[in-house]
Structures are given as structure tokens and as C-alpha cells.
Amino acid sequence: MEKQGILIGPFKQLVSMAELPLKGALKDSQLEVIPGAGIWIEGELIKEVSDYDTLKHKLRNDVELIELDGDFVALPGYIDCHTHIAFGGNRANDFAMRNAGSSYLEIAEAGGGIWSTVKHTRACSQEELKQLTVERANYLLAQGITTVEVKSGYGLTVEEELKTLRAIADADHETKADLLSTCLAAHMLPKDFEGSAEEYLQMIAKVLFPILKDEHLTTRVDAFVERSAFSAEQAKPYYEQAKALGFDLTVHADQFTTSGSKLAVELSAVSADHLEASTEEEIRLLAESDVVAVALPAASLGIGCAFTPARRLLDAGASLAIATDWNPGSAPMGKLISSASILASMEKLSNAEVFAAITFRAAQALNLSDRGRLVAGLLADFNIYQTDNYQNITYLQGRLEPYAVWKRGQLASS
């Protein structure tokens, strides 16, 4: 008989993330931790989460039973809502130069910086770029990341941005993780564009945006709002054109200087990411808005700069997500639990705040409401750890890896 569903359990602890609010500080006592729980899957979705023995009594013979023997903990699949994993080349020399005291300008003049990754990425075929993206997505999947946002932004011409976004779409078919792309053609003014920053953005909006719509290549537009890239004044009309076409907006904001987060709030962006330089004013504006603040601790570790003021953002009432920002320049680490656990130590975040930041709050940053909690009706994306206590996950700072990763109701990695 063909099986119509799967019952898996018992879990010593199941951390459901149910009922927690989208915004503000969270205490671990607010976490729903179900002892002796089971997960009943039907197709791609969770049919029921509750006591394993109770579910087992309801078992029909068309439901497959996966009975776990030992101490296991279940949590929702993680969501990495900010990455740049579609790139060619390597920037180890930038890291060495930075640590030897070189400035951003000196590194760029020595052939490093974003532009060097643009050259390496342009040299890749769409097939090569797809393959690199699949390998990195699978590395994230093995960490329990079942949904990965992937930005373009190392192409910086209409054709090269299209190549990257098509490579990401192709990669999505070859990894069990869900890949969601974002157009970051506004990463920097390309050195070989003959014209001003305004003219470049105007060209991208006029020529690239309609193709993205026609080919359904992405639903999201991002820009690097920073002194070395685009000012808020330059980015604003660009974002307004994207918004008019129905794209969700996200902003690389306040990384070194403040400016992007105010624009993110003004434009009702889904997220404002980085925020290392945000002051009380930006924190208050973000907290009063529905914009998700995204901390990228691996970028702080890669560059050796301040962490996003995550504690103050949460205490002010903001929604906080945490992502890897995996990219070859500022954040080569590619480790979500390690970097989120370090941020937790530095910023004094509860486990509830960390897990919210990489599950349902990260889903909100991607405008997704079908995942991020272990509750009936949502996608059956979940991680199983062989441990007796979920607290070990952040305590061990990434050393405890998932025993199994389930994606859309199927075993995806173990």
C-alpha cells in the first residue's frame, strides 16, 4: 500500500516556535518545548504536532512510522535570509591585507574588493555558477538551513545579472533547499559603466526589471546603500520603480554609515540588513516599523567590526533575524549557528531570540508565511539533533550538527 503520511518521533524535546510574536524581546520561558512529541507529515506539510503516543494511537496503516531510539530534539528548519553564494573566485588576500592594516581603498587598488569578485563571477559560465551555488547551498542545508536567500550583484550588467539569477533558478532545481533569489544589481557602480550612478540605476530599472518580471526570475530587489556604493538619494527612485512593479524591497543598510535604514522604513521594505552603525534614532524607527532588522554577525567577524546592536533593537521592539551574509569578501564563514551563537554571547540574546531570528522572523524577512514554525499546515521543514537539550545547539556554537534535516516532508540530509 502506498504510504500517505509519515509519523516521526518520539522527540525528547520539540521546540515548535508556535505563538511567539513577530516583534520584540523574547524569554526562553516563552518557548513551547513539547516533551515526548511526534510530527505527523502529509505530503510536504505538517499535519499535526503533538504527543507521540497519542499520535501513534491514531495511526492508520497507510502512515509510515519512523520510531527514533535515543535522545532527539526537533526544531523548525532554519532560514538564511541573506547570502551572496552565487560568486566565483576567492578574496583571501583581502582578508590578509585588512588584517595587515590596509584600507578599503588600498585593497581595491591592489585588485581586491567587490569588483574583483565581479571579474571572477563574469568569467564563470551560467553552468559553473549554478554548480558553485548548489555546492554552497548543500553546505548550508547540512547545517539545517532549508531555505536560502541568494543575491545576484557580482554581474553588474543586464546580461551578467541575468546569468546569475538564471544560475540561481537552475541551482534551486538541484538542491533540496529552497533557494529564493534577490536582484542586487545595485551592489556598486560597475567600473566599466560609462555614466553616472543615477544613469546606471535608471538603466537597470528600465532594462533589467521588466525581464525579471517576464521570466519570473525574482520577486525581490536590494541595493547597497553606503558611501562606497549608492546614496539613499540615488537609491530611492530606483527602489520606487521596483516597488511600482511589485518587487519586495530589502536594503543593505547602515553597515558603515547611517542612511539605508531610514529609507527602508520610508519605503516599507521587508528588511534592513547589517545595521552595525545604527544609532538610537535608526533603532527607534525600525522598531516602530514592520521592517525586519537583519543582523549579519559573520560579516562583523570577517571584517573585524562592531556587531549589529541586536539587544537594543529587540528591547526597542524590533523584529530581528540573523543570517550568514555568506560572501567572498566580508563574510566567508558560511556558518549560521556558529555566527548566531557568537552574536548571542556578545549581545546577550536568549535562545528564543536566536531561534526566532533564524526561523519565523527570517521567514518574515523573506515575506514567507508558510514556514518557520512546527505547526499544522506549514511546510514540514525541520531539523533533528541527537541530544537531550535544545540549549546545546547554541551552547556548542555550531559544533553540534543536525542528525537529520527534513525538507518538504522528505529526508534531505543526514
Instruction: Print the SS3 string covering 69-113.
Output: CCCEEEEECEEECCCCCCCCCCCHHHHHHHHCCCCHHHHHHCCCC
Part in contact with Fe ion (CB under 5 A); list of ranges 187-195, 285-293, 321-329, 332-340: 321-329
Give the nearer residue to Fe ion in terms of CB position, either 226 or 325.
325
Burial per residue of 99-121, b for 16 or more beta-carbon CB atoms within 10 angstroms, e otherwise: eeebeeeebbeeebbbbbbbebb
Please state, in angstroms and rounded to a whole number, the distance separating the CA atoms of residues 225 and 252. 6
Radius of gyration of the chain (CA): 21
Q: Does 308 bind ligand NIG (CB under 6 A)?
A: no
Query: Which residue in 6, 55, 114, 393 binds ligand NIG (CB under 6 A)?
Result: 114
Burial per residue of 28-67, b for 16 or more beta-carbon CB atoms within 10 angstroms, e otherwise: eeebbbbeebbbbbeeebbbbbbbbeebbeeeeeebeeee
Number of residues that bind Fe ion (CB under 5 A): 1
Q: Does 254 bind Fe ion (CB under 5 A)?
A: no
> Shortest distance, CB of residue 86 to Fe ion, whole angstroms?
12
Give the nearer residue to Fe ion in terms of CB position, either 77 or 328.
328
Which of the residues 216 through 235 are near ligand NIG (CB under 6 A)?
A: 224
Give the nearer residue to ligand NIG in terms of CB position, either 16 or 330.
330
Please state, in angstroms and rounded to a whole number, the distance separating the CA atoms of residues 407 and 394. 22
Please state whether the peptide bond connecting residue 328 to the residue before it is cis, i.e. omega within 30 degrees of 0. no
Residues near 390 by Cβ (< 8 Å), separated by ≥ 6? 13, 15, 33, 73, 75, 351
By rule CB under 6 A, what string of x and - marks binding of each residue 229-268 to ligand NIG?
-----------------------x--x-------------
Q: Of 350, 298, 324, 353, nearest to 141 (Cα)? A: 324
Give the nearer residue to Fe ion in terms of CB position, either 274 or 311.
274
Residue with nearest beta carbon to Fe ion: 325
Q: Does 381 bind Fe ion (CB under 5 A)?
A: no
Q: Does 404 bind ligand NIG (CB under 6 A)?
A: no
CB of 344 within 8 A of CB of 354? yes
Query: Which residue in 49, 270, 277, 299 binds ligand NIG (CB under 6 A)?
Result: 299
Please state, in angstroms and rounded to a whole number, the distance separating the CA atoms of residues 271 and 149. 13
> Shortest distance, CB of residue 73 to ligand NIG, whole angstroms?
32
Which of the residues 45 through 84 are near ligand NIG (CB under 6 A)?
A: 84
Part in contact with Fe ion (CB under 5 A); list of ranges 11-19, 30-38, 262-270, 322-330: 322-330
Part in contact with ligand NIG (CB under 6 A); list of ranges 44-52, 200-208, 238-246, 320-328: 320-328
**Cα–chain center distance at 168:** 15
Q: How is residue 378 written as a grid cell?
A: 506549514
Q: Does 325 bind Fe ion (CB under 5 A)?
A: yes
> Shortest distance, CB of residue 104 to ligand NIG, whole angstroms?
10
Write out the residues near ligand NIG by the rule CB under 6 A: 84, 114, 117, 224, 252, 255, 299, 325, 327-331
The residues that touch Fe ion, with contacts defined as CB under 5 A, are 325
